[in-house]
Amino acid sequence: MLVLVHIFLTGKTVPFRDLGKPNYMAVDGNRIYIADGAAVSIYSLTDFTPIKKFGREGDGPQEFKRRITFMDAQGDLLYLISPGKGSFFTKDGTFKNEFRTLSPDMKVKPLGEGFAGGRMVNENNVLYISIGIYDAGLKQIKGLHKQAMEVQVGGKGTKVFAHVLPFHVSGDLLFIVGGEDFVIEVLDKTGNKQCTITYDYKRLKVTDADKDRVMDFLKTNPETAPYLEMLKPIIFPDYFPAVQNYYIADGKVYVFTYKRDEGKSEYFIFDTKGKFVKRSVIPYAFISPVDEYPAAIKDGKLYQLIENEETEGWDLHINEI
C-alpha cells in the first residue's frame, strides 16, 4: 500500500487506498485499527504503514457475520462485536477467544467481571432497545434503561434523529445517553449511578431544509430507497436531541452536538465525574444527514476516515481536539 502524508491547515490527512467501506475504527497508543466489512486492518500510528490484516466473513473463529459493528482497543486486548458474537484478539491481531451472544442484534461490552449489554425486545408490539448488566455467562443481573427504537414495524413509522440509548464502557464505568436532553448517566460496574454529565443546552430547531436533506438521502441511498415505503411515515421531531454522539477517551468525555458551521461541529469536553472542561469546534464529517464517518479520539486528537470521491479512496483526517 502506498501511503502519502499531506499537511493542511485543518491538520494531517493520510490517504488510504486499500479500503472498501470501513465502518468502525479504534486507536491505541501506537496503532490504528480499521474495521472494513468483516476484516480488520492494523496500521502503525507513527508512519501509517500496514502491520496486519485479519478476519473474513463466516461463522468460525476469526470470522464475522456480515460486518464488525463495534471495536475497542482501550485495554490490553482488541475487542470486536459482530452479529451474534464477541471476539478478543491481541493488539497484534492474534486470536484469543470468542463467545456467542444471546441474539444476533445483541451488543455487549466488557464491564468488570461481566458485561454491559444492549438488545432488542418486543413488548406489546413495540420494539425497544434495553440496556442492562450481565454476568460472564450473559445472564442479566440488572436492567438499566429502555427506549423505543427509531423504526417500528406495522406501519408505525420511523423517527429521525431519535437516540436508541447508545452506551460506552471505559474501565469500570458505564456511560448511557438517552432521551433528548444533554444528559449522560455515569454508572459503576454494578449499575449504580456515580454522577450525571449535564449541560444547560439550547436544542436546535429542525428546519424544513433539514427534513428535505433527510428525505433526499432516504430516497437516493441504495440501502434505504428500496424500503422507503416500509419506513413510512417518516417522523421528524421539532428539535434535534442535544447530544449527537459522544466518545470516551483519555479519561474524558467528548460530547458532539448537531450544531455545525462550515464543516465544523460543536463539541464539549467533561471529565468522567461530570466536570465541564471546555467547549469548541472541530472539522467533523458526515456520510449523510443522520450518520457521521468512522471516528476515534486518542491523546487529544480526533481521527476520522472520510471518503474521497475524487480518488475513490479514503483519507484519514487527524485534528488536534
What is the model's pLDDT at position 10? 52
- pLDDT, tens only, 71-118: 998 888 999 999 999 999 999 999 999 999 999 999 999 999 999 999
> Three cell numbers at 58?
463466516
CA angle 288, 292, 294 (to 5 degrees): 135
Q: Residue 110 in contact with residue 89, Cβ under 8 Å?
A: no
What does the alpha-carbon distance between residue 53 and residue 97 come to, in Å, rounded to a whole number?
18
Q: What is the full DSSP assignment across 9-20? A: TTEEEEEE-S-S
Per DSSP, the three-state class of 49 is coil
Choice among 65-69, 140-144, 196-200 with the minimum mean pLDDT: 65-69
> What pLDDT is recorded for position 1?
35
> What Å distances lie between residue 159 and 7, 234, 236, CA to CA?
40, 6, 6
pLDDT band at residue 63 under the 50/70/90 scheme: confident
Q: How many CA atoms lie within 13 A of 254 on its CB side?
A: 22
Residue percentage of the chain with pLDDT more than 70: 96
Does the pLDDT value for residue 299 go beyond 70?
yes
The 3-class secondary structure across 162-224, one letter per residue, is CCCCCEEEECCEEEEECCCCCEEEEECCCCCEEEEEECCCCCCECCHHHHHHHHHHHHHCCCC
Q: To the nearest whole number, what is the mean pLDDT of the chain?
A: 90
pLDDT at residue 311 in the model: 86
Read off the pLDDT band of 6 (50, 70, 90).
Answer: very low
Query: Max alpha carbon distance in the chain (Å)?
Result: 55
Return the higher-pLDDT residue of 154 and 269: 269
